[in-house]
A = this chain, B = another copy of it.
Amino acid sequence: MTWVEVNAAPELIHTPPLRLKQKSADRTALNTDMYCLLKCSPLILAVAVCHGWLFGDFVGKQKELDEISLWPLPQKFQSSAVAFKLSPGSFQIVHAKQSSAGPSCSILVNAFRRYFEYMFGDLKKHEKSRKKVYDSDLAELQVWITSADPECDGYPSLQNNINKTDISDFPRFAHRGILLDSSRHFLPLKVILANLVTMAMNKFNVFHWHIVDDPSFPYMSRTFPDLSQKGAYHPFTHVYTPSDVKMVIEFARMRGIRVIPEFDTPGHTQSWGNGIKNLLTPCYSGSSPSGTFGPVNPILNSSYDFMTQFFKEISTVFPDAYIHLGGDEVDFSCWKSNPDIKKFMVQQGFGTDYSKLESFYIQRLLDIVAATKKGYMVWQEVFDNGVKLKADTQIHVWKERPQYQDEMAKVTAAGFNALLSTPWYLNRISYGQDWVNIYKADPQNFTGTDAQKKLVIGGEACLWGEYVDATNLTPRLWPRASAVAERLWSDKSVTDVGNAYKRLVQHRCRMVKRGIPAEPLFVGHCRQEYMGL
Q: A: which residues have CB within 8 A of B?
A: 9-10, 184-186, 188, 190-191, 194, 215-216, 233-234, 236-238, 427-432, 465-472, 474-476, 512, 515-525, 527, 529-533
Q: Is the CB of A530 within 8 A of B471?
A: yes
Q: Across the interface, do B188 and A469 meet the contact criterion of CB distance under 8 Å?
A: no
Q: B432 touching A467 by the CB < 8 A rule?
A: yes
- Contact between chains at B525 and A234 (CB < 8 Å): yes
A475-B471 in contact (CB<8A): yes
For A470, what are the chain B residues with a Cβ–Cβ distance below 8 Å? 517, 529-533
Q: How far in angstroms is the closest Cβ of chain B from A479?
A: 10
Assuming the contacts A471-B519, A519-B467, asked whether A529 and B188 have C-beta atoms less than 8 A apart, the reply is yes
A185 / chain B contacts, CB cutoff of 8 Å? 520, 523-525
For the complex, give the distance between the alpha carbons of A515 and B471 in Å.
10
Q: A471 CA to B477 CA in the complex, in Å? A: 12
**Chain B neighbourhood of A191, CB < 8 A:** 533
Chain B residues whose C-beta falls within 8 Å of the C-beta of A467 in the assembled complex? 431-432, 519-522
| Closest CB in chain B relative to A66 CB, distance in Å | 16
Which residues of B have CB within 8 Å of A431?
427-430, 467
Task: State whether B517 touches A472 (Cβ < 8 A).
Answer: yes
Q: Would B533 and A474 count as touching, CB distance under 8 A?
A: yes
Say yes or no: A472 contacts B529, CB within 8 Å: no
Q: Once bound together, how far apart are the Cα atoms of A10 and B233, in whole Å?
A: 13
Known: A9-B237, A428-B431. A471 touches B522 (CB 8 A): no
List the B side residues contacting A184 at CB < 8 Å: 523
Q: Do B471 and A472 touch (CB < 8 A)? A: no
Chain B min CB distance to A347 (Å):
38
Q: Which applies to chain A's interface (DSSP): helix, strand, loop or mixed? A: loop
Distance in Å: Cβ of A351 to nearest Cβ of chain B? 36
A76 CB, min distance to chain B CBs, angstroms:
33
The closest CB in chain B to the CB of A187 belongs to: B529
List of B residues within 8 angstroms of A475 by Cβ: 471-472, 475
Contact residues in B for A466 (Cβ distance below 8 Å): 522-523
The smallest C-beta distance from A155 to any residue of chain B, in angstroms, reads 23
Nearest opposing residue in chain B for A525, CB measure = B233
> Contacts A185-B520, A472-B517 given; 19 further ones with Cβ under 8 A?
A10-B234, A185-B524, A188-B529, A188-B530, A216-B525, A233-B524, A234-B525, A234-B527, A427-B431, A429-B430, A431-B467, A432-B467, A465-B523, A466-B522, A467-B522, A468-B519, A470-B530, A471-B520, A472-B476
User: How many copies of the chain does the oligomer comprise?
Assistant: 2
A160 to chain B, nearest CB (A): 21
Q: A144 to nearest B CB, angstroms?
A: 15
| Residues of chain B contacted by A516 (CB below 8 angstroms) | 533
A403 CB → nearest B CB, Å? 20
A129 to chain B, nearest CB (A): 15
Which of B190, B237, B524 interacts with A533 by CB under 8 Å? Answer: B190
Query: In the bound complex, do residue A469 and residue B529 qualify as a contact, i.e. CB atoms below 8 Å apart?
Result: yes
Please, how many angstroms separate the alpha-carbon atoms of A359 and B291 in the complex?
69
Least CB distance, A168 to chain B, in whole angstroms:
34
Closest chain B residue to A471 by CB distance? Answer: B517
Report the bound CA distance from A215 to B532 in whole Å: 24
Complex Cα distance A206/B99, Å? 63
Complex CA gap A468/B518 in Å reads 10
Q: Are B524's CB and A215's CB within 8 A?
A: yes
CA distance A472 to B519 in the complex (A): 6
Q: Chain B contacts of A428 at CB under 8 A?
A: 431
Give the CA-CA distance A241 to B532 in the complex, in Å: 21
In the assembly, what is the distance between CA of A466 and CA of B512, in Å? 17
Contacts of A472 in B (CB 8 A): 472, 475-476, 517, 519-520
Complex Cα distance A523/B464, Å? 10
Nearest 5 A/B pairs, CB to CB: A471-B517, A472-B475, A233-B525, A470-B530, A472-B519
Of B186, B215, B216, B515, the contact of A529 (CB 8 Å cutoff): B186
Q: How far is B337's CA from A347's CA once the two chains are assembled, in angstroms?
A: 84
A236 / chain B contacts, CB cutoff of 8 Å: 9
A293 to chain B, nearest CB (A): 18
Cross-chain contact A533 with B518 (CB below 8 angstroms):
no
* Chain B residues, Cβ within 8 Å of A238: 525, 529
Q: How far is the CB of A386 from chain B (nearest CB, A)?
A: 32
Task: Assess the B471–A188 pair: CB atoms within 8 A.
Answer: no
Q: Is the CB of A215 within 8 A of B517?
A: no
- The minimal Cβ–Cβ distance linking A187 to chain B, given in whole angstroms, is 9
CA A185 to CA B512, docked complex, whole Å: 14
In the complex, what distance in Å separates the CA atom of A516 from the CA atom of B471? 8
Least Cβ distance of A62 to chain B in Å? 11
* Cα(A429)–Cα(B467), bound, Å: 12
A518 partner residues in chain B, CB cutoff 8 A: 471
